[in-house]
Amino acid sequence: MSGLSYWERTYGDHFFDILIVGAGIVGLNAALSCRERYPGARIGVLDKGMLSVGASTKNAGFACFGSPSELLEDLKNHTESEVVALVAKRYQGILALRAKLKDEQIDFEPNGSYEVFQSTQKSEFQACAEKIDYLNRLLCPVFEQDVFELKPLYFGMQSVLSEGIFHRLEGQLNPVKMMLGLKQLSLAKQIEIVSNYEVKTFGLQDEQVEVKGSKTLYCSQLLIATNGFSSSLLSERAIDILPARAQVLITKPIKGLSLKGTFHLDKGYYYFRNIDNRILLGGGRNCDFGTETTDRLELNIKIQNRLDQLLTELFGLSEEDVEYRWAGIMGTGRQKTPIVASLNKNIHYGIRLGGMGVALGTELGADLAQCVNL
């Protein structure tokens, strides 16, 4: 801190008690939890965009916990107890989010979800249908009821089987309204949000953390909540986190669109829903894992072509019917369980939401705040 006066250090804009890197759902929830624990602390949140540039405002707005085929796939690489614990975190996270922000504030709609199967996936459908009772028993301690059931599909889709697997507790929301709500709540709690600040390096200097970006900042405690962008920021620490790009398109308005609820396809790698009488369709990362392991916000033509193809197969639409396309960055790893850990007593991180940031972000932020010790 050489060169700073007492006034600058105590009252200036260089020093924070707690700094959080990342103004997404995890970062803002961590800030709010820190405020509860330390009412008098100076808390700042840094983000390299105006309001989260990762996945918090670019996701599909699914309040989901895992489709049957995705859960069954997870059980090949995780124990039953690990899968149950992960689903519990997702469910409790949505409940915590809805307790923090009113449903009408975030356009939350508890319409349930369907896993659908294309006509060429009869064997996959049968394998999942035979496991419905097993999954309901496995997850009953989480939901306290049976949540999966077979239901006929009445939504005008083409080339899909006539039945899907319904999850009664899943829902949908508006991710930008969610983030604006968290931002407003943070500002009301006197949490300072610094936009357009990209962290270049950080490190422990004596008993303080030095953060270098457009200007140098100092803090007692640094929390890293950058999820998919953490691989470069934490590259020297050998942490199991990789970026994963997710791509989405939205059609022009469609008269009489009957889709209601959220929809999953192919182990969760594809997903779609109705938003303002438009079809939102996303996914396809499994078509090109190598290229999609990136934090570059660009479109992959191969995947966009696959989404266009699926739009035609499911709804008889073409690329001429698409109005918007974009990409967001998730954080993944060999395991799906989020990571909350400390580099030392001053620097901590909460990352790896595995594409479930809406469900996991609130609780992960609270967990990350528990690392702080002022």
Give residue 261's pLDDT band: very low, low, confident or very high (50, 70, 90).
Answer: very high
- 343-358 confidence digits (pLDDT tens): 999 999 999 999 999 9
Residue 207 vs residue 163, higher pLDDT: 163
Mean pLDDT of 81-107: 97
Q: Are residues 36 and 118 in the same domain?
A: no
Give residue 4's pLDDT band: very low, low, confident or very high (50, 70, 90).
Answer: low
Residue 74, domain member (yes or no): no
Mean pLDDT of 233-261: 90
Q: Are residues 264 and 323 in the same domain?
A: yes
Cα separation of the two ends of the chain: 18
**Residues of the chain with pLDDT > 70: what percent?**
95
Q: Are residues 180 and 168 in the same domain?
A: no
Query: Is residue 3 predicted with pLDDT exceeding 70?
Result: no
Q: Are residues 166 and 257 in the same domain?
A: yes
Residue 138, domain member (yes or no): yes
Give residue 57's pLDDT band: very low, low, confident or very high (50, 70, 90).
Answer: confident
Identify residue 322 by its one-letter amino acid code.
V
Residue 125, domain member (yes or no): yes
Residue 90, domain member (yes or no): no
Query: Is residue 37 predicted with pLDDT exceeding 70?
Result: yes
Give residue 235's pLDDT band: very low, low, confident or very high (50, 70, 90).
Answer: confident
Give residue 19's pLDDT band: very low, low, confident or very high (50, 70, 90).
Answer: very high
Mean pLDDT of 277-291: 96
Least confident residue range of 89-93, 97-101, 106-110, 231-235: 231-235
CATH code of the domain covering residue 182? 3.50.50.60
Mean pLDDT of 132-161: 97
Q: Are residues 143 and 209 in the same domain?
A: no
pTM higher than 0.85: yes
Q: Are residues 168 and 275 in the same domain?
A: yes
Q: Are residues 267 and 140 in the same domain?
A: yes
Would you say 111 and 262 are in contact if contact means Cβ atoms under 8 Å apart?
A: yes
Q: What is the mean pLDDT of the chain?
A: 93
Give residue 51's pLDDT band: very low, low, confident or very high (50, 70, 90).
Answer: low
Give residue 10's pLDDT band: very low, low, confident or very high (50, 70, 90).
Answer: low
Residue 181, domain member (yes or no): yes
* Closest to 19 (Cα-Cα) out of 202, 184, 200, 176: 202
Q: Are residues 21 and 163 in the same domain?
A: no
Q: Are residues 355 and 213 in the same domain?
A: yes
Least confident residue range of 54-68, 165-179, 253-267, 282-296: 54-68
Query: Is residue 1 predicted with pLDDT exceeding 60?
Result: no
Tell me how far apart the alpha carbons of residues 241 and 226 are, in angstroms, rounded to a whole number.
Answer: 11
Residue 118, domain member (yes or no): yes
Mean pLDDT of 179-203: 94
Quote the number of domains for the chain.
2
Would you say 83 and 135 are in contact if contact means Cβ atoms under 8 Å apart?
A: no
Q: Are residues 350 and 309 in the same domain?
A: no
Query: Is residue 54 predicted with pLDDT exceeding 80?
Result: no
Would you say 244 and 296 are in contact if contact means Cβ atoms under 8 Å apart?
A: no
Q: What are phi and psi of 2, to 5 degrees?
A: -55, 135
Would you say 258 and 155 are in contact if contact means Cβ atoms under 8 Å apart?
A: yes
Q: Are residues 251 and 160 in the same domain?
A: yes
Query: Is residue 8 predicted with pLDDT exceeding 70?
Result: no
Q: Are residues 14 and 139 in the same domain?
A: no
CATH code of the domain covering residue 315? 3.30.9.10
Residue 94, domain member (yes or no): no
Residue 349, domain member (yes or no): yes
Q: Which domain holds residue 276?
A: 111-172+242-332
